[in-house]
């Protein structure tokens, strides 16, 4: 089977590469000439563990190619994936202009029956819009079906998530389209992956509801952590005690500086907009968004309290990416906190194993970038852990203590144990413990 994946961002590149590894012939298309040139040279524009090896392997075996020629790729493909960006607009709703543009191009190039799949996270009703655009442009000329197949990949473990998903969701209006999609995903049948086959609209909502629920868990445990601090309880044990109830589940109950990244902030905001557009106020998710914003602010307060003040104070910041194993700094709580510290007059020395190139382009020019955690700790009034990279979990704390001007640490990811930090002579604060 030939497929074409339009958009070589995070979702498109991982999807195309993994399908190629399933044995499908995949053409990944992008209008960004530079990106396609990079990919042709074997360079990967994003940081994702294992992706380069998988791209190289499938390119070498002849199943994966990169091109800017959309027309030819659409002509050759039975299934066309739309994996272009849906960035948030000023008002928080998703910008569908790229999706619509691609739909028009697909319509112009239909040369027989095709399945058009939305893989990007799109508002409920987008499948219907795509369908309408294509029908209008190509008339009754060719048969096609529109399918919603949301992705549930996590940055940093995207390949594993694609190859061993908890489920595959397919929203479609025709049995033929479902049969073709199932054929495409057939290697997952061996793993007994559950398939949820539903309507296009239901599938579109599943994606938003799943992300909004996960964000709710995080904001919920962050509030529990804040309460723990007030009553003298330990959030890690509260989370453990809660999570052992199978109905609650242990995952996504790690308190911290708030959720970030390219998905949760965008999708929580979008689902409230979708609800509003239909005359409904999605109160829980609105509260989740508020709590997340307050959480970041509370972290700034925590650092201020630890350091005594912020004006003229030197802070070492460990981590800029929104989570470990990614260079993605979009909506990262670390970025927000660093910017706030600088706005309050602090001097910030920062280190991140992968996110510094991106940070240099968008963060305040006042940030001083360091070569490792030890350089960031040297001579600062307090050290702050903002992202839980593995290398920050096993720091030589004796050396760190020597390097710090005063032995103060704000561990916003609860990486270390309060009792042992105290025993080592640190003035140590964390979240909810």
Of 293, 294, 295, 267, residue with least CA distance to 282: 267
Judged by CB, which is closer to ligand UGA: 319, or 407?
A: 319
Token code pair at residue 42:
């074997």
Candidate list 4, 28, 263, 370, residue with the active-site label: 263
322 binds ligand UGA (CB under 6 A): yes
211 binds ligand UGA (CB under 6 A): yes
48 binds ligand UGA (CB under 6 A): no
Contact range with ligand UGA by CB under 6 A, out of 86-94, 103-111, 257-265, 374-382 = 257-265
Q: Which of residues 139-168 bind ligand UGA (CB under 6 A)?
A: 151-155
256 binds ligand UGA (CB under 6 A): yes
As beta bridge partners, residue 115 has 79, 145
Residue 370 is a catalytic residue: no
Backbone angles phi, psi at 346, to 5 degrees: -80, 155
Count Cα atoms within 13 angstroms, Cβ side, for 203: 29
Contact range with ligand UGA by CB under 6 A, out of 69-77, 255-263, 366-374, 397-405 = 255-263
Spatial neighbors of 306 by CB under 8 A, at least 6 apart, are 382, 408, 410, 427, 429
Neighbours of 126 (CB within 10 A): 24
Judged by CB, which is closer to ligand UGA: 217, or 408?
A: 217
213 binds ligand UGA (CB under 6 A): no
Identified binder of ligand UGA from the candidate list 218, 296, 334, 348, rule CB under 6 A: 218
At closest approach, how far in Å is the CB of 256 from ligand UGA? 4
Over the range 219-228, which residues count as b (16 or more CB within 10 Å of their CB) and which as e? bbbbbbbbeb
x/- map, 97-126, ligand UGA, by CB under 6 A: ------------------------x-----
260 binds ligand UGA (CB under 6 A): yes
253 binds ligand UGA (CB under 6 A): yes
**Ramachandran bin of 356, using left for φ above 0, alpha for ψ from -120 to 50, beta for the remaining angles:** alpha
Token code pair at residue 257:
């500086």
Judged by CB, which is closer to ligand UGA: 153, or 373?
A: 153
Are the CB atoms for 350 and 365 separated by under 8 Å? no
Judged by CB, which is closer to ligand UGA: 180, or 253?
A: 253
Judged by CB, which is closer to ligand UGA: 73, or 126?
A: 126
Judged by CB, which is closer to ligand UGA: 150, or 407?
A: 150
Contact range with ligand UGA by CB under 6 A, out of 50-58, 88-96, 246-254, 277-285 = 246-254
β-sheet with 408-411: strand ranges across: 368-369, 347-351, 314-318, 382-385, 408-411, 427-429
At closest approach, how far in Å is the CB of 262 from ligand UGA? 6
Burial class (CB in 10 A: 0-12, 13-18, 19+), 423: exposed
- List the beta strands (DSSP E) in 106-254: 114-118, 144-148, 168-171, 195-198
Contact range with ligand UGA by CB under 6 A, out of 28-36, 126-134, 253-261, 348-356 = 253-261
**Ramachandran bin of 157, using left for φ above 0, alpha for ψ from -120 to 50, beta for the remaining angles:** alpha
Positions annotated as catalytic residues are 263
Binding site for ligand UGA (CB under 6 A): 121, 151-155, 211, 214, 218, 252-254, 256, 259-261, 263-264, 267, 322-323
């Amino acid at each position: 089977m030939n497929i074409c994946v339009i958009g070589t961002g995070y979702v498109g590149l991982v999807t195309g590469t993994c399908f190629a590894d399933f044995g499908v012939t995949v053409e990944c298309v992008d209008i960004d000439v530079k990106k396609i040139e990079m990919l042709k040279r074997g360079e990967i524009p994003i940081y994702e563990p294992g992706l380069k090896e998988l791209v190289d392997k499938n390119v070498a075996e002849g199943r994966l190619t990169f091109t800017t020629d959309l027309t030819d790729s659409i002509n050759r493909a039975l299934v066309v994936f739309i994996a272009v960006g849906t960035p948030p607009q000023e008002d928080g709703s998703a910008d569908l202009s790229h999706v619509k543009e691609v739909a028009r191009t697909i319509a112009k190039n239909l040369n027989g029956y095709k399945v058009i799949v939305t893989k990007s996270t799109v508002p409920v009703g987008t499948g219907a819009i795509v369908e309408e655009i294509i029908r209008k442009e190509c008339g009754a000329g060719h048969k096609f079906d529109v399918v919603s197949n949301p992705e549930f990949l996590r940055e940093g473990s995207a390949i594993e998530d694609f190859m061993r998903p908890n489920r595959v969701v397919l929203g479609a209006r025709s049995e033929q389209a479902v049969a073709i999609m199932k054929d495409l995903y057939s290697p997952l049948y061996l793993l007994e992956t559950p398939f949820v086959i539903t309507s296009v609209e239901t599938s579109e909502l599943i994606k938003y509801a799943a992300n909004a629920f996960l964000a709710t868990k995080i904001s919920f445990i962050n509030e529990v952590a804040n309460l723990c601090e007030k009553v003298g309880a330990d959030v890690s044990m509260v989370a453990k005690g809660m999570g052992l109830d199978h109905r609650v589940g242990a995952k996504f109950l790690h308190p911290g500086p708030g959720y970030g990244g390219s998905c949760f902030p965008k999708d929580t905001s979008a689902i409230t907009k979708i609800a509003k557009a239909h005359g409904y106020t999605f109160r829980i998710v609105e509260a989740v968004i508020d709590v997340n914003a307050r959480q970041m602010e509370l972290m700034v307060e925590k650092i201020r309290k630890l350091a005594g003040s912020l004006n003229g104070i030197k802070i070492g910041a460990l981590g800029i990416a929104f989570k470990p194993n990614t260079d993605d700094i979009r909506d990262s709580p670390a970025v927000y906190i660093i910017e706030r510290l600088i706005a309050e007059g602090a001097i910030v020395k920062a280190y991140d194993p992968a996110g510094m190139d991106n940070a240099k382009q968008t963060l305040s020019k006042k940030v001083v970038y360091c070569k490792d955690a030890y350089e960031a700790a040297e001579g600062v009034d307090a050290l702050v852990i903002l992202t839980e990279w593995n290398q920050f979990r096993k720091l030589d704390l004796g050396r760190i203590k020597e390097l710090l001007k005063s032995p103060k640490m704000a561990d916003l990811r609860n990486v270390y144990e309060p009792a042992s930090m105290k025993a080592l002579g640190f003035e140590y604060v964390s979240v909810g413990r």
